[in-house]
A and B are shown apart, each in its own frame.
Chain A
Amino acid sequence: MTNIYLPHLARIITIQDDTYDTKTFGLELVDAEARNTFRFRPGQFLEIAVLGVGEAPFGLASNPNHPEAFFVTIRAVGSVTDALHKLSPGDIVGVRGPFGNGFPFDEIKGKNVLFVAGGIGLPPLRSLIEPMLDARSEFGDVQILYGARSPADLVYKNRLKEWETMQDVRFMMTVDVGDSGWSGNVGVVTTIFPKADIIVDNTVAFVCGPPIMIRFAIMELLRLGFAPANIISTLERYMKCGVGKCGHCAIGHKYVCLDGPVFSYREMMKLPERVV
């Protein structure tokens, strides 16, 4: 029987510096059978442990169509992430998961899709964007709006360049504060909404980022006419077990790790605590 608290061992294959405080870790499960059977859905997360130090949840950022080598993007903000940042390729971490409900995928085929991402909110959305691009013809218009604090805070800079040049993707980005080398948009991500030609009809919007950014982005989308059920975001809470037992992430009668972390705005409004 599966032991839900026992991690699988995973080896760090690659570490890439994304920004001054963010790294992307490419991981591979050590056990061959685990490696071959590992699958995940867009928007799910892993509980990654530095043995003896701590464990924390991280959204999978890689393409679910290539599960043999998956990656997560981690910003150093506390003891666990600091410890992860000190590791090197070849080091071993513990991995449990994938957990969480994940983003809808098949259910939204045929619709237009709008992605609104802020800063470190892009990695989990990327796990949805990539398979969508793989099955591009099954979706309508695909638009990505990305904002970060400054040019130095943009993640996946190379991939952003590729999205900019893709014909069948509408991509715009902005930074809150520019620098001497920046000639693009300046302002929070909602400031590029007016010039983005957002399609509202038959569109599902995915919003990920810092809580304040999510709040303002959703307000704007509602103003544009999006229905609450068609605005989809993720909730973050302090998590421990990831499997709906320890109680830390409970909001109302939902557990962020089981019933979420993906929630529509309509579901969020029904929760007894203010979450957005």
Chain B
Amino acid sequence: MNQYVLLKTDLNRWVEMARKKYRVYAPERVQEDIFFAPLLGPPESEFLTGLAVLPYLPPKDLVFPQSEILFSYSREGEKIALTVPDQETEASVLLGIRSCDTVGISWMDKFFRENFNDTYYGRRRDNLITVTIACNRPIKNCFCVCCEGGPFLDPGKNSFDLQLIDMNDRYLVECNSDQGETLINLDPALFSAPPPDMEAMRNRLEEEARSMFLPEPTSYMGTAIRRITADSVPSEVWTELGERCFDDGGCTFVCPCCSCFGVGYLAHGSGGCHYRFWDSCDYSGFTREVSGHNPRGEKGERFKRRFFHKLSYQYVKKDGRIGCVGCGRCITACPGEVGMPTVVETIRRSDTGDSSKE
């Protein structure tokens, strides 16, 4: 891992160089919402500081879009032609992604590549370089400290390209991959060697950031993980949580670690397409079979199963980490106020006769 210093006054110049070779996505405001959008000029610097900034949808949308066509077909006489859409394979840079989302993308990387390699994910992901901005100050719903999702990425444990750490008038740039080096080399003159006290300052900033999380939603995940793995949470707890769930799917769509999708089919005249779109295991039809039989017909069962997938040890072994990065989007999206922190707290408080210390 290499370290550099980039003055904030040089940021725009570097971005300008990047825009010549890459499509650069950065946070942009539309009314009260923030999106990642392709830059047409210099970036909004207010979104590139140590204060956490989260777009409503996680950047998983850039590599696993809300909907995309898998292939189109057309009949020409006897022949049928199948065409895979020519998606934008332009090399891209994602500037201003936060640690939680970067960890989420690593989770997606593992999931979409293992067993059968998902090339639709791959061809977008392989052309994307991430420039993470570390969070010196979390915002209202953040709880990444509970989930090993931040607030700073650990170059030893996390895979990432570049991480920028806000140090007032400059960034400490941590480069953790060859792709990252390529970006540095766009204009190496802008990047100087860090002075010796930089390391200490970096660690201090990280400690300070970790101390700033609000008591709520911060919560100790270990108990929930244990109880879910052992299936020792009383079913009444799941029923009650399920009653607060609206089957809207919002939590699934905004979660950086949720990847379920459905497939739709359109036929028009002599052609058509098959497309995939974000789906949610919260939906009652998610497991309903053609016969009408539904192994997960009860809302509480579906709710419980989603959290089993996110937190149980069986999945942690399989996926390498829990399925939550602590970004807090589920709190924003859930009408029933049963996002991850509420569920974890409810499980912790539920009486299971578990005598182990918390």
A residues lining the B interface (CB < 8 Å):
1-7, 9, 49, 51-55, 77-78, 81, 92, 94, 236-238, 240-241, 243-248, 250, 252-253, 258, 272-273, 275
Contacts and interface: CB of A to CB of B under 8 A. Distances in A.
A247 B82 CA distance: 25
Contacts of B80: 9, 51, 92
B189 interface: no
Nearest to A210: B291
B289 interface: yes
20 contacts: A1-B122, A3-B120, A4-B118, A6-B84, A49-B274, A51-B80, A53-B267, A77-B290, A241-B263, A244-B116, A246-B261, A246-B262, A246-B263, A247-B281, A248-B262, A250-B281, A252-B308, A252-B314, A253-B309, A253-B317
B231 A245 contact: no
Nearest to B317: A253
Q: Which of B231, B274, B315 has the most CB of A within 10 A?
A: B274
B84 A247 contact: no
B287 interface: yes
Given A3-B84, A7-B82, A250-B309, A54 B265 contact: yes
Interface in B303-317: 305, 308-309, 312, 314-315, 317
Contacts of B263: 55, 240-241, 246
B325 to A, nearest CB: 18
A244 to B, nearest CB: 5
Given A3-B84, A4-B118, A245-B116, A240 B289 contact: no
B82 A4 contact: no
B288 A238 contact: yes
Given A246-B260, A253-B318, A272-B308, A238 B287 contact: yes
Chain B residues touching A, majority SS: mixed
B281 to A, nearest CB: 6
Interface residue range, chain B: 35 or more
A5 B318 contact: no
B14 interface: no
Contacts of B249: none
B117 interface: yes
B279 interface: yes
A1 B126 CA distance: 14
A247 B279 contact: yes
Contacts of A92: 80
B309 A238 contact: no
B191 interface: no
A6 B69 CA distance: 11
Contacts of B118: 4, 243, 245
Contacts of A1: 117, 119, 122
Nearest to B81: A9
Given A5-B71, A6-B82, A237-B295, A244 B119 contact: no
Given A238-B286, A244-B116, A250-B281, 7 more contacts: A6-B71, A7-B82, A9-B82, A92-B80, A94-B82, A243-B118, A272-B308
Contacts of B259: 245, 247
B62 to A, nearest CB: 18
Contacts of B70: 5-6
A272 to B, nearest CB: 6
Contacts of A243: 115-116, 118
B272 interface: yes
Contacts of B281: 247, 250
B266 interface: yes
A258 B115 CA distance: 8
A246 to B, nearest CB: 5
B267 A51 contact: yes
B289 A52 contact: no
A237 B287 contact: yes
Given A247-B261, A247-B279, A51 B119 contact: no
B267 A253 contact: no
A77 B291 contact: yes
A272 B295 CA distance: 12
A52 B265 contact: yes
B117 A51 contact: no
B260 A247 contact: yes
The 3 A-B residue pairs with the shortest CB-CB distance, nearest first, are A52-B267, A247-B260, A52-B272
A248 B267 contact: no
A247 B282 CA distance: 12
B112 interface: yes
B4 interface: no
A54 B82 CA distance: 15
